[in-house]
A and B are shown apart, each in its own frame.
Chain A
Amino acid sequence: MNILASYRYQMADHKKAILIFYLVIIGLFVVSGLSSALVTTGAGESYTRSVNGNEMATVIFLFVIGLCTFKETFLLSLQNGVSRKTLFSAKIVTMLSVAAIMALVDKVIGLISLAALSLTSKGVIAVTFYEGLYPAQTANTSAFVIHLESFFFEFVLALAAMAVGYFITIMFYRLAKTGKVIVGAGVPVLCFMIIPWLDTHFFNGRLTMAFARFIVAAACTPFRVVLTSLAVFILFSALSYLLMRKAVVKR
């Protein structure tokens, strides 16, 4: 019962932000569609245009949503007799629902804009963001499968982004003032100053190369991205739970 109540609240809590996000996205698509319609191509010429940039916008938006949704919901839950484990379970279901709904809406918006672009702009070959990222893997695949794959691709990326955002916000909630300063300033300094300096002076660029190889290995095919994203989602959700289970109301 409580998990349902908590789920209902968390979904409602996201509703307004998501509506505003889509108003902006639709507005951008309208402007972008109008500008595309005005582009003329020479006889027999064509150019490829990618639509569905909103997929990445959604992933970034959901990372921010993850960052913004812990404290208020946590305090409200404790006020209303909801345990931490119930709140966490409801949060996972909320993440799954929000990611699925937004991936689906993005797909619908994408299909409408693809159709509109093909109708209004001559000589334009419209491809989805997913096709643009993985042209080799999608070259001989049917449109239906591409749309299904790209839906799932965005869904898991969105889940991973939300889980990372949620973990960061819980970590900052749990940390004391000094810890916040250390992590807030220390992580960027470590990543963007100390590691590059060490890499240049002591490792001869091997750290950067190893990182690049890891990224390539994790993202070279859609399947690997799905696996990596799911692993990130599970790992950061588990870490969030470990932090949340002992979180208390702070004065």
Chain B
Amino acid sequence: MNCIELKDISKSFGATQALRGVSLRFEENKIYGLLGRNGAGKSTLLNIIANRLFADTGQVSVNDLPAVENDKAQQMIYLMSEQTLYPEKMKIREVFKWTKNFYPDFDAAYAQNLAAQFGLDTKKRVNSLSTGYSSIFKIIIALSVNTPYVLLDEPVLGLDANHRDMFYRLLIEKYGNRPSTFIISTHLIEEVSGVIEDIVIIKNGEIIRNESCESLLSKGYTVSGKASQVDAFIEGKEVIGVDSLGGLKTAHIMGVPDRREIPEDLEVTKLDLQKLFIQLTNS
């Protein structure tokens, strides 16, 4: 089956248990959001898939091939990590050249085009890039590498709003033109919620949610309106968050809304993913 499959993966660093028996499947041609708080185990999980770390127990396979120390499996994966693994003194255009050497499907012309769009000078050396441009440089490779599975660990780290917007636009464009599996690990949940299809939430090294974004968000709803009306409505309901502004209030509630009991003046919208995430990962 074409997917990345993890079976009972555990990993610890000294006394810290980073992953506990994680079993998971990333199917082909989907965009996943891998969400979790700091230290939840997201990067460890991605690094194990990409053969950079070894799991203590469990198996990882890519399209049914064992992923550990397997070039064939690893050639189907590209991991853009927070940490830059390219030689510091290498120029960006040289990185493009060598990426083509290792990944024959790397589209050098597209990468050059993206570099121009982002304003990245390819004559610069890797170590001379700012945090934002370092992310851009790695995003460009990730979008041009054309592997079936692209893993993005904090891809928008240090990017300004314009570049973040550009990245999401390019990601959707790329996905539309040449579908592949993208796994995006990020803290910017609001931003990524418009892009992802499926959500995997990891907490203390365990998967607590793994379902489609739509299904997850259908587990709750948001009501907004006059504060007094909202307060009256939410009484006795499972409220996961409240925002107030002047006399207006917005409440995020778990459960399915009963349209009959909702006052006309209150507006009902989809649940806020970030609020749900906070609720799920707070305790």
Contact = CB atoms under 8 A, between A and B. Distances in A.
Contacts of A72: 87
Interface stretch (A34-42, A76-84, A106-114, A215-223): A76-84
Contacts of B77: 81
A76 B83 contact: no
Contacts of B70: 83
Interface size range of chain A in the complex: 20 to 34
A86 B98 CA distance: 17
A5 B101 contact: yes
A246 interface: yes
B101 A249 contact: no
A248 interface: yes
A70 to B, nearest CB: 12
A22 interface: no
B56 to A, nearest CB: 12
Main secondary structure of the interface of A (DSSP, over half): helix
A76 B86 contact: yes
A79 B85 contact: yes
B193 interface: no
A251 interface: yes
B32 interface: no
A80 B51 contact: no
B69 A79 contact: no
A76 B86 CA distance: 5
A76 to B, nearest CB: 6
B78 interface: yes
Contact of A85 (B69, B99, B101): B69
A102 B213 CA distance: 60
A249 B53 contact: yes
Contacts of B210: none
A2 B54 contact: no
Given A76-B86, A81-B77, A84-B69, A248 B102 contact: no
Contact of B50 (A9, A75, A78, A246): A78
A6 B98 CA distance: 10
Contacts of B85: 75-76, 78-79, 249
A2 B75 contact: yes
A82 B101 contact: no
A2 B102 contact: yes
Contacts of B50: 78, 81
A249 B74 contact: no
6 contacts: A2-B71, A81-B51, A81-B77, A245-B69, A249-B52, A249-B83
Interface of B: 47, 50-54, 69-71, 74-79, 83, 85-87, 98-99, 101-103, 147
